[in-house]
Structure 1
Amino acid sequence: MITAVTGTVFIAAGAFWLSFTSLADLAARSGIGRGQAWAWPLIVDGIIVVATVAVVALAGHKAAWYPWALLIGGATVSVTANALHAVVAADADVPGVLAASVAAVPPVVLLAITHLTVILTRATPATEPEVVPVRLPATQAGELAPVSVTASTSADESTVPVADRRARGRELREAGWSNKRIARELGVHASTVGRWFSGTHLPDTTNPDIGRDVADAEEAS
């Protein structure tokens, strides 16, 4: 990443310098004093750099049309002016089309490389999965024990015991929660919650061994 950013910065600097000198000379030939001619390319090519950064920063926003307009306008003026300078300053034996094509390369490269530099500098590494706290019944004193379930493992029902999820689901059901909402809370499918509360799938709470057998069977499925 560092090598790529460093390379783009050097290329952008070279393209800016070539375009700058051409536009400054064109401004001087057009009647602007030598002492002020440097400001004209700074304005033209400066718009390209600033507008490119703004376009990337405002990507997806409605206001992005304005920096896009500035970018297109600045790039058009820069490419055209560099081409005109080449036609005016080139030797007589050099075709005007060739001179204009060569002179148009620096501003085009400046536009492309500036955009690439901004994208590289804004790239961020992948973030860790978000940890979502889930309150589940503890095995003692009837208290709720916190259990951390990441977003990437919410679909893996094996991370939380079936009996604990069912007990928590029963509490939420008694509080008036819907099956879908309970499923989202506990990270299970809504049909699983439905089976918990159907008369044919509820475990026999009077016999702990039967309850464990049913829980193990549902966990295996």
Structure 2
Amino acid sequence: MSKVSRPFEIAIPFFSSCNHNLANSYCETHEKVLPLQRKSNKKHIKSLNITLMDTSMLIYPLLVFVIGFAAMIYMKTKGRNTKGNYVVAGRQYIKKFYPNLDVQQYEIVEGKITYSITAVHIPVLIAYNPSELYLFPVVRNMTSTKLNTPEGLEEHNEHIPVLSIQQIGITEKGDKMAFVVRGKETVINFSKRNSFNEDQSEEVRNFLTTMAQAADN
């Protein structure tokens, strides 16, 4: 019996030792694999965060552009069915420079003048009555019904007594008027619609008629 059992006694510790070694090897391998998996997961999460950040950086400016463009189109087309907003905005704008001026005594119309500093047509708010006129270079605030001063033209507001106008010339189409004050010629161009997209044909005719009558007197 002792001879038969001896090999088993030897074999059992052998297999036990073998299993123990395999277990240790598995544990060591598993311990090595886990950090690699963690690192891989961290890299994946980091890559995902970077991708989301890059996407948001692209979407945000695009969203701002779309909203701004939509607001601009809305404000541009809004005036086609309205009337009088430009006059209200113009009188509010004048009050900033002449708070004591009775703006209700002045008619409002928009023209365009080419200033040497810009070399392009700049919208001009014209406030006038039979005895005087004011010229204010303006630009429209694209997100509201307000007028602002163009950059670089803050000092170009003009007050012109009608009696100081030496010459006045008006085109047959009524789309342009030139006048001379103290030897300086100013040319004002007119469009059918103002910066608020309102039809100002009648206002332009009234202004040119008033100026023509002033020239005859």
Is this a same-fold pair by TM over 0.5? Answer: no
The structure with the larger Rg is: 2
- Shorter-normalised TM-score: what interval? under 0.3
**Which one has a larger percent helix, Structure 1 or Structure 2?**
1
> So what's the TM-score if we normalise by structure 1?
0.27
